[in-house]
A = this chain, B = another copy of it.
């Protein structure tokens, strides 16, 4: 899951966060311990982990790779809800069926735990229940930030938020926040941000021409001016 969260740590009382995300970054030691008992599953690129409507038999933790969570209409319109990364949980929730589709963007490895087992354990161990609550609480905050981004921000602001979210994720994982890898296609990004691939491409070139980023490859973004990117994301500047 992405963390498209508040820009400069201390956000003012009434200001909305830049963005946040929908799979679940693990704040869950208890969960992790239980998870360790689960089996692993390897997934090929573009293969689905589960589809909307499938019975929610398992909860998964991403061990390696990146998974795209999305909803789709019969007419083909698709909304990407989140991208889940190693350490994130997917498939949490109470419904008996999954409401999202989960597709690997690259070869991935998952740790699986039967949902029934998790519910049973949580019925005995209140700490585990609270951890699951905490995990969902983060997902919810992420979804609400994403909602703000899609409902209120311009195309340039959305792309800036998206890149900043990936950069902050890197910082949290002790990876270089100045170098952002994009395991997803332009189409995935477009469906995540409620835009088209052409608009994504145009905004990236605008950012490049403004010397705010460099596109070393089309899947590799070097952030040259993080401050400018944040100002853009906050609507304090425009391209």
How many chain A residues touch B (Cβ–Cβ < 8 Å)?
61
Contact check, A147 vs B148: say whether CB atoms are below 8 A apart: no
Which of chain B's residues have a CB closer than 8 A to the CB of A145?
Answer: 71
Known contacts A101-B14, A122-B126, A127-B123: A95-B137 contact under CB 8 Å: yes
Tell me, rounded to whole Å, the shortest Cβ–Cβ distance linking A86 to chain B.
21
* A94 to B13 alpha-carbon distance, docked (Å): 18
Interface string of A109-151 (1 = CB under 8 A from B): 0000000000100111111011011101111110111111011
Contact check, B140 vs A130: say whether CB atoms are below 8 A apart: no
* A92 to B183 alpha-carbon distance, docked (Å): 34
Interface string of A69-108 (1 = CB under 8 A from B): 0011111011101000000000011110001110000000
Contact check, A235 vs B147: say whether CB atoms are below 8 A apart: no
* A82 to B15 alpha-carbon distance, docked (Å): 17
Number of copies: 2
**Chain B CB within 8 A of A225 CB:** no
Closest to A14 in B: B72
A-side interface mostly: mixed
Closest to A78 in B: B152
Contact check, B143 vs A99: say whether CB atoms are below 8 A apart: no
Contact check, A53 vs B140: say whether CB atoms are below 8 A apart: no
Tell me, rounded to whole Å, the shortest Cβ–Cβ distance linking A8 to chain B.
12
**Chain B CB within 8 A of A16 CB:** yes
Contact check, B137 vs A130: say whether CB atoms are below 8 A apart: no
Closest to A133 in B: B133
* A72 to B52 alpha-carbon distance, docked (Å): 32
Tell me, rounded to whole Å, the shortest Cβ–Cβ distance linking A79 to chain B.
4
Which of chain B's residues have a CB closer than 8 A to the CB of A73?
Answer: 15-16, 152, 234-235
Given contacts A12-B53, A93-B140, A136-B136, 18 further A-B contacts (CB under 8 A): A14-B74, A15-B52, A17-B71, A73-B235, A77-B235, A79-B147, A79-B148, A79-B151, A93-B137, A94-B133, A99-B141, A119-B130, A122-B126, A122-B133, A126-B126, A140-B140, A140-B143, A150-B194
